[in-house]
Structure 1
Amino acid sequence: MNNAQTAMNHEPPTMNPTGKLYLVPTPIGNLEDMTFRAVRILKEADLILAEDTRTSAPLLKHFGVNQRVLAHHQHNEHQSATEIVRLMLVEGKQVALISDAGTPAISDPGFYLVREALKYNLPVECLPGATAFVPALVNSGFPTDRFCFEGFLPLKKGRQTRYKFLADEERTIILYESPHRLLKTLDEMATYFGEDRLLSVSRELTKLYEETVRGTVAEVKAYYETHPVKGEFVICVGPAIVAKLKKNDE
């Protein structure tokens, strides 16, 4: 049995105590949001895992990061995780995981690798930093003391069930949506949440054309039927109890 196989069987003699996994947030649009610490960790890492190496290349070049970069995305994360864990566990490599934008593992690859690293008692550290849903939530004007983050809803199977489950949610709901599905999603929200449910829809956060549109489902849908639907969207849905109180007042 070689060292790699021994390590994966939890035999202590082959474990290297210096191995570690860092999750490093990257800007969601504005390079000035990159932290000093994030740059340092990337420069010190033995290996950087990127969701898309082509997307990350300009960012790394901008900050003078020249470390080795490998692709780690939803299509290969299960296969590559074993080798990455071996590199940390046996060879003591310091590995930094980044996504195309924002914090890894938030609607991006990362969860599986973190779980595998923890399974072998490897240290995991997530740096604080950029993520799209926090500024969208704070900008929304909806309650921030209690909220639920749903990320992207299922594309087909389970989507209707999820809407029905969320219809009476009394916390602020946060969803991610792509531009080509936005109008369809707003139609579905009118059906399951009601046209009077309050929304705050943010796009192009931190970028030049950042925009937040607030109003009822019907009002937001009407706006985007006559305005460009571009960029990634964060949809904040007001608590159901607010919609109910508004309806009772009428």
Structure 2
Amino acid sequence: MNLSRRDQYLLIFLVVILIGFGFFRLVYLPMNKEIKTITTNNQQLQLEKERLQAQVKQHPKKTEETEDKFAHLNKRLPTEDEMIPLLTMLDETTGKYGLPFASLDYKGAEKPDETGAQILVFTIGTKGKIAELFNFLDELEKAERLISVEDVSFNAVKAEAQETAEAVEPGPPAYYIAPPGIPEAKLQRIKFEVVEEAAEPPTQSERPVADSFMPGNFEMKMTIKAYYAATDESAPAPEANNESKPANDSGGEV
């Protein structure tokens, strides 16, 4: 079959069109779609990168806030008993309100509670004005260390007996008038003695009940429990069973 030159050109042109259409449909369109997908993903990654960079810039500030919160939590619930700082806090608080330490009894450590926190138990006593005592309790409630105040009791303070007698006020001056009709020589042989008796202070039993107590002064006793979160290493080990079991079903006799 002989084709004219014109038909050959048309056939070549048709083949080129078919090849171009196939390339456009099978190669260009999928590649263009993939390029658009990659471009979209790159844009999303760029936005995510910018967001992460913004978070990184804010990260140091959040780290400082986290450290401050952790430091406050460590002071609130320390990992060790820190008994000396606790006693220092109690001493400074009583000194702030001018209250003396009447008694301080350390009861030891209680068994961990349901939360696993260790507990230190103190019994302290002090005395002073009722307003100062309530201020002291309020200060303990606001303490940075996690503590609880229990078994608070108040007792009236007895007044101390006065050892010295009250001074007797001097009476009016005494004047001597010679009696009439008695010679001077006879009066000189007469001696006059004035005995002043000091008034004795009333005994404790003779005082009224209200006078035997100091008004407005009370003695306060309380139990303070201080908590701390002990680690597993510092937690008390379980008591070993000291009961020895005889071997080979022996009676344990030596």
Tell me if TM exceeds 0.5.
no
Q: What TM-score comes out, normalization by structure 1 length?
A: 0.19
Q: What TM-score comes out, normalization by structure 2 length?
A: 0.19
Question: Higher Cα Rg: structure 1 or 2?
Answer: 2
